[in-house]
Amino acid sequence: MGAYYGERLSQNEKAQKEKDRRRGKEFTGVSSLRSPASCFKDENLHMKYFWIPIALIFAAVHFYYLDKYPLIWVDDIGYSEPAWTFNQSGNFGNKFLFESFKGSGYEKSNVFMGRIFLFSQAMMYRIFGFGAYQSRILQMVCGLLSIWLVWLIAFKLFYEQASWIASGLWAFSHTFWVTAHQSRPDMMVIVFILLALWLFLDERYFL
Q: What is the pLDDT of residues 141-187, one digit of tens each?
A: 999 999 999 999 999 898 888 888 999 999 999 999 999 999 899 99
Residue 132 above 80 pLDDT? yes
So what's the pLDDT on residue 101?
61
- Backbone Cα Rg of the chain: 23
The pTM of this model reads 0.72
More confidently predicted of 6 and 106: 106
More confidently predicted of 205 and 86: 86
**Distance from CA of residue 69 to its chain's centroid?**
20
With beta carbons less than 8 A apart as the criterion, state whether 75 and 183 touch: yes
Rounded-to-integer distance, Cα 202 and Cα 207, Å: 10
- Describe the crossing of helices 115-128 and 132-157 by its angle, rounded to 10 degrees: 130
Mean pLDDT in residue range 128-140:
90
So what's the pLDDT on residue 30?
34
With beta carbons less than 8 A apart as the criterion, state whether 184 and 48 touch: no
With beta carbons less than 8 A apart as the criterion, state whether 148 and 197 touch: no
Mean pLDDT in residue range 74-99:
81
* Residue 32 φ/ψ, nearest 5 degrees: -100, 35
pLDDT (tens digit, 9 = 90+) per residue, 103-115? 666 667 776 777 8
